[in-house]
Chains A and B, each alone.
Chain A
Amino acid sequence: MLDAKIPAGPLDDKWTEYKGHCKLVNPANKRKIEIIIVGTGLAGASAAASLGEMGYKVKAFCFQDSPRRAHSIAAQGGINAAKNYQNDGDSVFRLFYDTIKGGDYRSREGNVHRLAEVSANIIDQCVAQGVPFAREYGGLLSNRSFGGTQVQRTFYAAGQTGQQLLIGAYQALERQIALGNVKMYNRHEMLEVVKIEGKTQGIIARDLITGKLERHFGNAVLLCTGGYGNVFYLSTNAMGSNVTAAWKAHKAGAYFGNPCYTQIHPTCIPVSGDHQSKLTLMSESLRNDGRIWVPKQKGDTRKPNEIPEEERDYYLERRYPAFGNLVPRDVASRAAKERCDEGYGVGSSKQAVYLDFAAAIIRYGKIEAGKHGSENPSAEEVRHHGVDVVKEKYGNLFDMYEKITGEDPYEIPMRIYPAVHYTMGGLWVDYELMTNVKGLYCLGEANFSDHGANRLGASALMQGLADGYFVIPYTVGNYLADEIYSKPVATDHPAFADAEKAVSDRINKLMGIQGKTSVETFHKRLGKIMWEKCGMARNAKGLQEAITEIQELKKAFWSDVRIPGGTDEFNPELDKAGRVADFIELGELMCIDALQRNESCGGHFREEYQTPEGEALRDDANYMYVSAWEYRNEHEWELHKEPLVYDVIKPTARNYK
């Protein structure tokens, strides 16, 4: 039986009680304890900085050339916090409630409440570090709305919030590196977890410049390695984002939680051709002001600006009057797919809908003209002012759109379509963020914990920083307090030698195949299977087919992949091959998980289970649990169930109408 170790007592007091009673490590002992952190995005950098500050000996690893490159940097819209600075009725409970509901009642009350509790501290910490959040003229912080909520609790820095938060955490990390508390390993990839008698004692990492394998001891290992959206080949993730570290941990015994829960983001720039290597997000914050529509007439070939108002279908406003364009992501994505599947899509591929700012430009323009004392402003004057306001709010996003598509979104509505963006699933962790393997932790997007079956916008940054700044500094101590009695393991221990040999054998096997097909080709094939059969809509037949196809793909990969170059040199193709090999195995598990879950919830939409209106139909009686998969053998996993218990919130059908 899986024990999530949720503290007893009333929901409001759980975290306070935990903090009051968890074990501590005294400063002299902290100096003797080594912690390995893999990944330096928001979760990893904030954890490394905080634990370094506390006096632990930290080693941090990232595959990029600098910790500042981690893909948290690309997060655009903002970060949620229950500050209630807008006096609009927000509270810790509201944020907790919205997150549980947004996740379609598939997350833990205890974890989510803690997340809401520490959310306010994150904003304080970031401001103290010099993160330049947007401000009002009075000098106080500004907020905006995001999907799935009715309050304004999102803090932001133009469309570059992730960048600013990551730079804050990165600077805190660099300070600890300078102080000697953290040792940084850039261009390194973790390729194995080292366990001795069931306890995590270190990792095997590969220096990506020299190709050398290295052994690193750690009393605890924290995986902060992000999500696995690139299993779909095309996603909004960075090219290097991968599941490898988490997957090695999984194969070393860590359970994988809810792998099928993937978030398809509704507003991305559509695919333009077969050459496409990645997809680019247009922030959800655009839905504050942009209106989403398609023509009322099927196959309408007119230009968007030629289609009169009454011939446009603002389908989100029509279907969900209460939340309108700000429904949660899963709902908005499915609605776009529905319109396109029905033949109302726009653009050359017909796989796109419009995101239109014309109304916002006029609305803001009139207000601004009024401020300038203009009683009867001309249409041009209104437009001029309106464009200025929209530019200040979303300028960088509009520029990015124009660079990619060659179209000016101030003139022509954006064309958007859903794309893979985030993975709610990840390594199973308990309340302390420890996996079921002792001493092995998982933070941020890489774990499965807080977002249930669907994540709300601006909550990923919140969770990454909550885990790194405010949760792990307490919970890891509760484990390490007992580690002070064990001596550090020398890296010539047979467990390290065996782990290193396993890694080197795997690399030699890959290099020895010398087939005909590139890594990229296999990755694209995997992505196509996943997107078509385990994407926005899934059904039993498709998933069964996908499982067979992926198994065949795996065979083909291991007999026909071609990797150029050598092992002892800078060889990005070899790095990629290892990652794609892991994605193939993960893809199979995702389909198995999606097939097992005979219900629709959040981002997991099974076509067999929907209401007559096409909304997701949950089955709380049979599926109110976390699926935690244990790796047994090739193509063989065992399902463990962690029941979800709701003491405070009563699960109901999610309604945004």
Chain B
Amino acid sequence: MEHYTMNLTLKVWRQKNQNDKGRFETYKVSDISSEMSFLEMFDVLNERLIHEGADPIAFDHDCREGICGMCSMYIDGKPHGPWQQNTTCQLHMRAFKDGDTITVEPWRAKAFPVIKDLVTDRTAFDRIIQAGGFISVNTGNAVDANSLPIDKHKADEAFAAAACIGCGACVAACKNSSALLFVGAKISHLALLPQGEPERKTRVMDMITQMDKEGFGACTSTGACEATCPKGISITNIARLNKEYLMAGLTADQ
């Protein structure tokens, strides 16, 4: 792999806090190695800003290996940037070339208010999980793990849905800021497993109610969420959610 260095222009969203109006600011960065990660490029810029006595750019990040779901930059109009099935932290500078201008914004959604610069508040996702994204089994209640064989295909499918990292890229990509891929993934994960059966109906009803309360928009099946999801969560999870919701509605006890 050939390595190279590049000079870039960055247009970055700066916003002091939730009440500030915010604006784009332009920064030039030079001698960026193609081997760097996108966030390491931001580290270089921030070091310079600190040295110059300016305010560094706030951004969320933690594991930097694509699994914690904390990083969340909207890069050139795409959540997590140009690579497929990728998180911001795993985007590397070889995706860009010398002279490029890169625009970086926070996730934009009513339900994800900006805290500062590129940092948003995604606790709405936690509250959706609180509404029903679990199996009610207290510690100590479990029977032997192998007493309940599960069809491998179903288990694999449940795993594929459970691989969601809760980053919110699906919401950021959607023109309506719908959270249906996130919610659909959790509904699928738990509905596909026999352990999830007892709470199947209430779970989907409660999670959808909470989702609406948080101010997420409606799904119009554009598929932007699936296309941008760093973990390749399939849009069929939304279809399953719709089916679960319909079934729960039709067969509700009340």
Contact = CB atoms under 8 A, between A and B. Distances in A.
A277 B40 CA distance: 7
A238 B152 contact: no
Contacts of B123: 65-66, 186
B195 A127 contact: yes
Contact of B125 (A66, A138, A281, A516): A66
B110 to A, nearest CB: 17
State the 6 A-B residue pairs at the shortest beta-carbon distance, nearest first.
A139-B149, A171-B134, A128-B142, A124-B142, A132-B159, A178-B130
Contacts of A430: none
A129 B189 CA distance: 11
Contact of A175 (B136, B145, B156, B165): B136
A140 B92 contact: no
Q: Is the interface of B mostly helix, strand, loop or mixed?
A: loop
B62 interface: yes
B115 A209 contact: yes
Interface string A127-141: 111101111111111
Give the interface size bracket for A toward B: 35 or more
Nearest to A571: B58
15 contacts: A66-B125, A66-B166, A68-B166, A128-B141, A130-B135, A130-B190, A139-B149, A140-B146, A158-B159, A163-B163, A171-B134, A277-B40, A277-B64, A278-B65, A564-B50
Contacts of B145: 83, 123-124, 126-128, 133, 141
B148 interface: yes
B241 to A, nearest CB: 16
B50 A400 contact: no
A405 B2 CA distance: 11
A373 to B, nearest CB: 22
Centre residue among A69, A138, A470 by max chain B CB count within 10 A:
A69
Contact of B151 (A128, A139, A186): A139
Interface of B: 1, 17, 33, 35-37, 39-40, 43-44, 47, 49-51, 53-56, 58, 60-70, 83, 85-86, 90, 92, 94, 115-116, 119, 121-123, 125-126, 129-131, 133-146, 148-152, 155-156, 158-159, 162-163, 165-166, 189-190, 193, 195-196
Interface in A259-313: 272-273, 275-278, 280-281
B149 A64 contact: no
Contacts of B56: 564-565, 572-573
A20 to B, nearest CB: 16
A73 B70 CA distance: 11
A125 B143 CA distance: 8
B63 A564 contact: no
Interface in A542-572: 562, 564-565, 569-570, 572
A121 B144 CA distance: 8
Nearest to A570: B116
A174 B1 contact: no
A238 B62 contact: yes
A581 to B, nearest CB: 17
A138 B146 CA distance: 11
A50 interface: yes
B112 to A, nearest CB: 10
B196 to A, nearest CB: 6
B65 to A, nearest CB: 5
Contact of B152 (A46, A130, A135, A275): A135
A277 B39 contact: yes
A518 interface: yes
Contacts of B68: 64, 68-71, 73-74, 238
A42 B165 CA distance: 16
Nearest to B146: A140
A563 to B, nearest CB: 8
A604 to B, nearest CB: 27
A172 B134 contact: yes
A614 to B, nearest CB: 32
A280 B139 contact: no
A130 B39 contact: no
B132 to A, nearest CB: 8
B115 A518 contact: no
Contacts of B85: 399
A73 B141 CA distance: 24
A404 interface: yes
Given A66-B122, A71-B68, A158-B159, A403 B86 contact: yes
A405 B148 CA distance: 41
B115 to A, nearest CB: 6
Centre residue among B40, B92, B140 by max chain A CB count within 10 A:
B140
Contacts of B122: 65-66
A646 interface: no
A520 interface: yes
Interface string A211-255: 000000000000000000000000010111000000000000000
Nearest to A163: B67
A27 to B, nearest CB: 14
Contacts of B17: 569-570
Nearest to A406: B1
A37 B198 CA distance: 30
A406 B86 CA distance: 14
A407 interface: yes
A404 B65 CA distance: 9
Interface in A373-427: 399-400, 403-407
A25 interface: no
Contact of B134 (A164, A175, A277, A403): A175
Contact of B143 (A128, A137, A473, A516): A128
Given A129-B137, A164-B159, A273-B33, A135 B115 contact: no
Centre residue among B51, B145, B148 by max chain A CB count within 10 A:
B145
